Structure 1
Amino acid sequence: MTLVPPPTVPAPRAILFDAGNTLVFADRVRMAQIYRSAGVGWEADRFVSAELAAREELARRVSEGHVGTEPHLWRDYFITIFSLSGVPEDAMDEVGHLLREEHARDHLWTHVEEGTGDALEVLARQGYRLGVISNADGRMEDVLIRTGLRELVEFVIDSEKVGIEKPDPRIFREGARRLDLPPEDCLYVGDLYPVDVVGAWGADMSAILLDPAGRLEFPVDRVAAVRDLPDYFQGR
């Protein structure tokens, strides 16, 4: 059965967000330290381009039926990043080991892109209710507290804590329930089409896909970054 998107909501009452690679991103300073500790050169622009390409490949694989949080799927995601960002094959195991150690010690997804917090504040002033629904490891609320974003949203649903993960429609419906709104009045913003957009549609929410490079071809409205959302909703 082909999933048909719900009608576009001209003015949703609530906007719900993915967290990783939507509100928060890998800390480039700490990633650079990991690379250099393994004797690998670091180029920030090359890393960003590699991460975008890896995200697109991840979306393709999830579209083929893989589960988004399977360890091998995320392993391949990072192998793609390493390969495209200049990590030699004989250094990949070391970089991967250092990355896992650092992420276990202190969550790596703590970089907030310029304009993200300002955009959330503008959306709230415009009357939208805001929340977060994330496939995460139980630490996402703490991450958002540290980055200053938690105070800008009403709640954070972490899949590890509720025992449901996207694209299961139940986790999206839980977000609507916490707002005491029907799912049809909510819109979800995320970076992975088969996980975020298709999952939201399955819960009768509308959705927007983040497409920083402007090269994704999916049947859904797209913006480059969260900071672009106030303009997107202007006049709706």
Structure 2
Amino acid sequence: MPYVLPPEVRAVVFDFYGTLVRMVEPLPPDHRAIFDRRGLAAQGARWGDQWAVGPGEGEEHAVHSAAENDYHRWELDRLRRRALDCGVPEHELDGLVEEIDRAMKALRLELFEDARPVLEELRAQGLLVGVCSNWFWNLEDCVEDVGLGGSVDVVVGSARAGARKPHPLIYRTLLERCRLPPEHVLFVGDMWAPDVLGPLSAGMRSVHLCRPDPAVLGSEPPLPDGAARIRGLGELLRLVTSGAAAGPGDCG
């Protein structure tokens, strides 16, 4: 039986990276080049995945999210602790972690082709449109920079909310900002736990986006009740306007 969008849905909220935008070249510099330039090649080899240094999925950090300076200090402290664990001398720490922090945030983002027209059409239909993402403090600026500022009503990022999806706090913050009960909100994203299971547990409906050219590889488990699956945002418009969505087997 096809998924039917409940008529009470009044807002559609999107994940950001992998759903609305992807990373394009030039890519951020590899951390090993930063270590090598400072004569710390051995420590750089111990660092591991340069992206696995931020808060973990579902992590709560509200105490560090009271203000931008507090959050940035916490980000640098995490990098500093990891650098120490890798054997970086203390006199090298400050310069190294500040450069790594800048490099990690030097992202060039590009909209998926279907993002802007879909968001604009949803707003034209009278729906509230939001973005909710695990992101740095500057999510609002990034939404503006990619050209979506005029197409989005509500922006909620994990850095300011104090927790990363799928922690309940970020969804509570989202619903408060939308000023809607959860059953009136549809959440759309490409990641299974943050964008499907988390919103469902908060009482929202969800749509799992499985692009044929994904920015992030993810799993495609069987869909639970209250969720649909689409291959592109254009299918979301058909779901909203006609009440039909792709079935579980339609995402390759």
Matched residue, 2:220: 216
Matched residue, 1:60: none
Matching of residue 30 in structure 1 with residue 26 in structure 2: yes
Matched residue, 1:83: none
Matched residue, 1:191: 190
Q: CA separation of 1:221/1:102 partners in 2, compared to 1, >3 Å: closer, same or farther? A: same
Q: CA separation of 1:177/1:9 partners in 2, compared to 1, >3 Å: closer, same or farther? A: farther
CA distance, structure 1, for counterparts of residue 220 and residue 203 of structure 2: 23
The TM-score normalised by the length of structure 2 is 0.60
Residue 143 of structure 1, CA deviation? 0.8
Q: How does 1:46-65 map to 2 (within 5 A)?
A: none
- Deviation readout 1:34-60 (Å, 9 max, x if unpaired): 69xx9xxxxxxxxxxxxxxxxxxxxxx
For structure 1, which segment, 172-181 or 200-209, has the greater mean C-alpha deviation from structure 2 after superposition?
172-181
Q: CA separation of 1:68/1:137 partners in 2, compared to 1, >3 Å: closer, same or farther? A: same
- Deviation readout 1:56-107 (Å, 9 max, x if unpaired): xxxxxxxxxx942789xxxxxxxxxxxxxxxxxxxxxxxxxx9976443x33
RMSD after superposition: 3.0
Q: CA separation of 1:120/1:209 partners in 2, compared to 1, >3 Å: closer, same or farther? A: same
Matched residue, 2:242: 235
Matched letter for residue 166 of structure 1:
K
Matched residue, 1:86: none
- Structure having the higher helix fraction is 1
Q: CA separation of 1:99/1:231 partners in 2, compared to 1, >3 Å: closer, same or farther? A: farther
Q: How does 1:68-79 map to 2 (within 5 A)?
A: 68=57
Q: Which of 1 and 2 has greater Rg? A: 2
CA distance, structure 1, for counterparts of residue 234 and residue 111 of structure 2: 11
Matched residue, 1:21: 18
**3-state secondary structure, aligned to 1:141:** helix
Residue 151 of structure 1, CA deviation? 1.7
CA distance, structure 2, for counterparts of residue 211 and residue 145 of structure 1: 25
The TM-score normalised by the length of structure 1 is 0.64
* Contact kept? 1:188, 1:196, Cα under 8 Å: yes
Unaligned runs of at least 5 residues, structure 2: 34-54, 60-74, 76-98, 214-218, 244-252
Percent identity (aligned): 29
- Deviation readout 1:202-225 (Å, 9 max, x if unpaired): 110010011113982331311112
**3-state secondary structure, aligned to 2:165:** coil
For structure 1, which segment, 143-152 or 212-221, has the greater mean C-alpha deviation from structure 2 after superposition?
212-221
Alignment coverage as a number of residue pairs: 172
Unaligned runs of at least 5 residues, structure 1: 1-6, 39-65, 72-97
